[in-house]
Structure 1
Amino acid sequence: MNVTRFEEAPEYFPPNHFSMRCVRLQGHEAGPAESLWLGVSAIEPGGYTTSDASPVEKHYVVLEGEVVVVTDEGEAILTAFDSCRIAPGERRALHNRSRSPAKILLAMPFLRPEQC
């Protein structure tokens, strides 16, 4: 078993994330994992990501607050315990348009060598 305490979770700095603090809960520098990694992003009011795609799917769960997920097809406002899946190659942006901080959980498979 690999336990990561939230207070001790290693911070990471993904590109194109603004007014956000991102930590890894499992996988990568947070410990061993075979198929996916987990992270949490704390998004300050006005915080956002740019619209980008990745070659693997992403699953998001809002833990607190309100996060707007924007894709080329439209946008959805997610609140606590709402979730969404972003398909491989689908562009997405995250926004905290509220006046309160938000937290979102990310589950994402590791990139295979041919996807790098």
Structure 2
Amino acid sequence: MNVTRFEEAPEYFPPNHFSMRCVRLQGHEAGPAESLWLGVSAIEPGGYTTLDASPVEKHYVVLEGQVTVVTGEGEVALSAFDSCRLAPGERRALQNRSGRPAKILLAMPFPQPGHGR
């Protein structure tokens, strides 16, 4: 078993994330994992990511607050315990348009060898 206490979760700094604090709960520097990693992003009011894609699917669950997910097909506002799945290669941006902090859980598989990060 690998336990990561939230207050001790290692911080990481993904590109194109602004006014956000990102930590890993499992996988990468948070400990061993074979198929996926988990992270939490705390998004300050006005915080956002740019419209980017990754080669693997992503799953988001809003833990608190409200997060707007923008894709090439439109946008949706997600509230606590709402979730969404983004397909491999699907561009997305996250935005906190509210006046309150938000937290979002990310679950993402490790890329297959030869398929980028």
Using structure 2 for the length normalisation, give the TM-score.
0.98
Distance 2:72 2:107 in 1: 21
RMSD of the TM alignment (CA)?
Answer: 0.3
Structure 2 distance, partners of 1:21, 1:29, is 16
Provide runs of 4+ in structure 1 moved above 6 Å: none
Q: CA deviation at 1:66?
A: 0.2
Q: Say yes or no: does 1:29 pair with 2:32.
A: no
For the residues of structure 1 that align with 2:23 and 2:12, how far apart are their CA atoms? 6
Q: CA deviation at 1:71?
A: 0.2
Partner of 2:7: 7
Seq. identity, %: 86
Q: CA deviation at 1:113?
A: 1.6
Structure 1 segment 1-116 matched on structure 2, within 5 A? 1-116=1-116
State the 1:114 CA deviation: 1.2
Local SS of the residue matching 1:111: coil
| Structure 1: unaligned runs, 5 residues or longer | none
Q: How far off is 1:92 after superposition?
A: 0.2
Q: Residue type matched to 1:80 in 2?
A: A
Aligned pair count reads 116
Q: Give the whole-Å Cα distance in 2 for the aligned partners of 1:115 and 1:49.
A: 22
Q: Distance in 2 between matches of 1:70 and 1:98?
A: 15
AA aligned opposite 2:31 = G
Matched residue of 1:113: which SS?
coil
Residues of 1 paired with 2:39 and 2:49: CA distance?
Answer: 15
